Every structure is written in C-alpha cells, then in structure tokens.
C-alpha cells in the first residue's frame, strides 16, 4: 500500500523509520518487550512519522535528526491501538489482519505494553540529541496532543457516544481529538526537529488538522462502501454499525465533498513552503483517493 | 498518618503538593477528568513528591520551583495504581479504603484516566518554567524509571511470578522496578529542579533506591502482622497470600533486620548533604517504624 501512497522522497522516510523504530524498543525475550515490538511491527503506513520527517525536511532540517521524534509519534500511535483493542474498549481480536496485542499476549501484557510504549515515546523524545528547548517543546506538544485534551479525550468522547445520537459538532470534536491531534503533533514535531517555531509551525499544524478530518471522512466512507480488511477499526464488530460516523450523519456524497474540501484546506496551508510542498500535496490527494 | 511521618518541614511540602496537584489536572465535569482527579485525590502520604521537594531544598533550590516535577511524579504513581487495580491486573475493587477507579467509573474510563495521567505527568514536566536542559533531563529520568526498564517492567515480572516459587534475586529485581525506580526518580527530580547534576544526584538516587527496598520489606511485614487497612495492595484478594514476599522467603525477623539495614544505607547516602539531611533521616526511620 505504501507504494501507492508514497513517492520516492516519502518512501525514503518510510524506510528510515522501519530501520530506526526497532532500535528504540527493548530487545529482551520477555513478554513485555515482545508485546511492545509486536505492537510496532512493520507493515503499517507509518503516516504520522513520515509526516514528521517530511516537515523536518521542508523546514530545511535533516530528516535523520527528526527520527527520535518520528519514532516517538509512532510508538504513541501504537500504544493507542493496543489499548483501544482491549476488551473494555473496542474488544477487538484483530488488528491489521493479525491478532491484536491482547489476543496474542494476554490482556495484562497488552495493557502494560501499551503503558510502556507511551512511556517510551517520551523517553525517546527526551533522549534526542538536540537543543534541549526543542526537546522540551516536542515533549509538551506531543503530551498535549495525546492526553485528556487531545487523543485520550477523543477516545473517551467516542466511548460515551456509543449507541447515542450525536450531532456533527460532537463528531468533529471527537475526531479532532481521537485522530486529528496526533496527526497535527506529528507535523509540528517535524518543524521542531528542524528548530523551526515560526509561522511554518502553525502551517504544519493546520495541515495536520485538516488532513486528519479528511482522513477520517474517507475512512468512514470506505467502512461502508468497500469490503476491505478494516485498518484501525474493530473487525467483525457490530459497533461500527451502531456508531455515528460522517456517513451516517451526512451521507456518502456530502462526506466525500467535505473530505475533498478539507484536503484542499490542507494543501492551502502548505503554501508557505512553496514548491517543495508538492510531495505532501500528492500524499494528501492519494489519501483522499485511497480505496482501502 | 502524615502527621506521624512528617516533621514541620516535610508537612509544608505536603501542604504545597495538596494545593498544587489539582491545578495540573483537568477541571471538566466529564467522566475522564473526574476519574483523573479521583485517582489523585487527597489523603495519601505523597511520599514521592515530598521527596522531590525536600531534595530540591537540600540542593539549595526553592521547593516551589520543584512542584511541577513533584506533581508529575505523583500523577505517574496514581496512574500506576489505577492500572494495577484493573480486572486484568490485581482485580482490586478497593484502594485506600475507597472504591478503586474502575469500580467508581467503569473499566474503560479507568484505563483512559490512567493513560491520561501518565501523559499529563510528561506534559507537566515539559511545561515547567525551568532551564530546558533540566526539563529534558527530568523527563528522561522519569520515563526511564517508569517504563519497561523500570516500573512497568517490575509490574510485568510481578504478574509473571504469581503462583511461582521465585528466589530472592528475582523478588529484589521485581521490587527495584515496581517500587524502587519511581522512588529513586522522585529523589533525582528534586536535585534536577535545583539544577544539580553532580555527586548529590547520585546520592539522592541511592537514598531512593535503598528507601524503596526498606519500604517494601516493611510493607510485606505489615501485610501479615497487622490487620491494617492495606495501602497500595489489593484488599480482600487471595493473591497476597499466594505471592512470594520478603517475609515468605526470609521470615519476619530477617526481613526486619534487612529493612533496618537498607534504611541505614539510605541514611548513609545522605552524608554528602550534611546536617540538613536529618529531616530525611527521620522520615526514613519513621517509615521503618510505621505500623500501618
């Protein structure tokens, strides 16, 4: 799939991440280490860390220097999937077509592996060889995006909205937290890795936020229009049908129109980066057009 | 209980923490915010954050400046209790004589509140108004202590040792991770808040590590010799009787002797701080002599 999404530039980022990520994970044979590695295993799109490296490059930095931040973002994303799949949450036995972490390692090990991955994300940022001010800034940015005011808050809203008739505003607030906050932080961390805190940081945040909304809308469309193997969603669960989505609230046509509009907004946010941003514009288009 | 443990100096730290901690927590009426506050509610000994403030003072710093670090340590400790109590872990419905977080808010909210508290700990450190190098150092120290190589690793070992005959070395490794690592980090973060990274940082770590071992040994003794309301342990669970403890491996007398010896080591580590350290020596003695 990555071959369809990524041009050569982004594919290089992807290769770098696949190589670096295991180096930040524990190597032990114990089940905690094994569960952590399993949760971060190869094969994903790695969209968030690819964005981190590309924004670092766009800001004139060396993408290699952004690897600790990029891998931290991916670990944080992976922890969220592990905890999301637990029986008390989505209760999903499958993830990306393989047994979910708790199906493979047991519930306690999965809980602890998620905790350890979340912790390892901040350890990886704090250990980055970089100006301490940017390390502290990256840690603050990621924590705000990941916590009660961001991703975890969105997950809580999501849980509480199950089986309820929610309106579009609530759905958008939920998705901005659940999906958007971490995508936004991923983009910002790329700028911070390049030592950039000016208007480009704000532009990166806007790109991530708009891309997140578009991404979720396309996901909602694909959930009902394709028989794809679901990615990042419980498989074989009835919940997906009970939950409000952009499609249940707006219909397929209007959702598709809005997804395109958010993609346009995302591209518009990149203007400050000039011609160099065309790689990311192509990625945004590819994500909009994706069929699974 | 804190009145018995703490002299005026430490009691002042305790008061400061009780006042500051809620300011770092979300104030919303939603159940995630409520569960986070519930997990950090007043009434605990707050030993870890008290150590942070006192080591800051010992290093010549203003204890008030160490409050973000101290509160971060307490949030991290609180998250660990919330996740420890979950059904897939110790399955404990009581904590400090009150319903545990999942008993009060449901399992999903407790899981997410724990995740959010862990994240908030790193947010609070990263947001501290302090030299960025010490912020990054504190974040790295706390993450290492809390993650797979520290607390979470110890919890995993603990789980895996259930119902097994483990030896003293394994028990000590387990406890150094589960209890010792965070106590050690709490002491180190006080030094870092005062901008101290010299031999005193090492002394603080040794104090925390020895105090942690002594603390756990006394806990193990109290678990069988008193009918106290258990603190930080599942209440009414059968597991405590199945698990290897210092007492089951060494007997009460030898455990008591070793606890006293580790307390002596802890006090010895403080020599570099001179007369000013007598407050902490008294605390170490009070923890050794405690009866619940």
Which ipTM score applies to this complex? 0.93
Is B229's pLDDT higher than 80? no
The residue ranking higher by pLDDT, A166 or B226, is A166
Give the pLDDT confidence score for residue B238 in this predicted structure.
Answer: 44
Q: Which of residues 17-36 of B touch A (CB under 8 A)?
A: 26, 30-33, 36
For residues B194-212, give the mean pLDDT.
Answer: 97
Taking CB atoms and an 8 Å limit, are A123 and B147 in contact across chains? yes
User: Which chain A residue has the Cα nearest residue B128?
Assistant: A136
Nearest to A159 among B108, B140, B153 (CB): B108
Does pLDDT of B236 surpass 50? no
Q: Is B197 exposed, middle or buried (0-12, 13-18, 19+ CB in 10 A)?
A: middle
List pLDDT tens digits, range B28-84.
Answer: 999 999 999 999 997 688 999 999 999 999 999 999 999 999 999 999 999 999 999
- Which of B144, B148, B174 shows the shortest CA–CA distance to B159? B174
Is the confidence at residue B1, as pLDDT, over 70? no
**A residues 123-182 lying closer than 8 A (beta carbon) to B:** 123, 125-127, 131-133, 135-137, 139-140, 143-144, 146-149, 152-153, 155-156, 159-160
Contact A92, A235 (CB under 8 A): yes
B119 touches chain A (CB under 8 A): yes
Put simply, the answer to whether A136 touches B135 (Cβ < 8 Å) is yes
Residue given tokens 């309301």 in the structure block: B229
At B227, is the pLDDT very low, low, confident or very high (cuts 50, 70, 90)? Answer: low
Report long-range pairs for A56-60 (Cβ below 8 Å, ≥24 apart).
A56/A190, A56/A191, A56/A193, A56/A194, A57/A9, A57/A190, A57/A194, A58/A190, A58/A200, A58/A273, A58/A276, A58/A277, A58/A280, A59/A190, A59/A191, A59/A194, A59/A195, A59/A196, A59/A200, A60/A194, A60/A196
Mark the ranges of chain A whose per-residue pLDDT is less than 70: 1-3, 43, 226-242
pTM of model > 0.90: yes
What's the pLDDT at A232? Answer: 47
Give me the pLDDT at residue A14, please. Answer: 96
| A-B contacts (CB, under 8 Å) | 142
pLDDT digits over B98-139, tens only?
999 999 999 999 999 999 999 999 999 999 999 999 999 999
- Whether A246 and A217 have beta carbons less than 8 Å apart is answered as yes
Quick one: closest CA in B to A124, which residue? B140
Determine, for residues B132 and A132 on separate chains, whether the beta-carbon distance falls below 8 Å. yes
Closest CA to A232 of A100, A72, A53: A100
Flag whether pLDDT at B235 surpasses 90: no
Alpha-carbon span A164 to B18, nearest angstrom = 38
A251 vs B236, higher pLDDT: A251
Percent of chain B with pLDDT over 70: 92
Calpha distance A195→A66 (Å, rounded): 10
Please give the pLDDT value at position A97.
87
pLDDT score at B178: 94
Tell me the pLDDT tens digit for each residue of B15-38: 999 999 999 999 999 999 999 999
């Amino acid at each position: 799939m990555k071959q369809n999404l990524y041009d050569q530039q982004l594919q290089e980022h992807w290769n770098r991440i696949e190589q670096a990520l295991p180096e930040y994970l524990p190597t032990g044979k114990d089940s905690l280490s094994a569960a952590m590695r399993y949760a971060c295993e190869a094969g994903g799109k790695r969209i968030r860390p690819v964005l981190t490296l590309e924004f670092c490059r766009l800001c004139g930095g060396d993408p290699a220097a952004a690897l600790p931040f990029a891998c931290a973002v991916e670990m944080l994303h992976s922890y969220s999937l592990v905890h999301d799949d637990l029986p008390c949450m989505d209760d999903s036995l499958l993830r990306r077509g393989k047994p979910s972490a708790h199906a493979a390692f047991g519930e306690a090990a999965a809980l602890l592996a998620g905790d350890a991955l979340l912790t390892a994300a901040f350890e990886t940022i704090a250990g980055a060889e970089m100006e301490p001010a940017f390390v502290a800034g990256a840690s603050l940015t990621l924590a705000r995006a990941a916590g009660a005011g961001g991703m975890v808050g969105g997950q809580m809203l999501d849980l509480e909205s199950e089986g309820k008739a929610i309106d579009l505003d609530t759905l958008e607030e939920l998705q901005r937290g659940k999906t958007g906050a971490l995508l936004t932080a991923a983009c910002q961390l790329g700028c911070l890795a390049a030592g950039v805190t000016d208007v480009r940081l704000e532009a990166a945040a806007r790109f991530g936020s708009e891309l997140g909304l578009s991404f979720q809308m396309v996901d909602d469309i694909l959930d009902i229009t394709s028989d794809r193997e679901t990615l990042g969603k419980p498989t074989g669960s009835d919940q997906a049908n009970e939950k409000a989505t952009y499609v249940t609230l707006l219909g397929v046509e209007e959702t598709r129109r809005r997804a395109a509009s958010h993609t346009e907004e995302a591209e518009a946010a990149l203007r400050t980066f000039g011609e160099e941003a065309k790689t990311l514009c192509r990625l945004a288009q590819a994500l909009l057009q994706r069929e699974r």
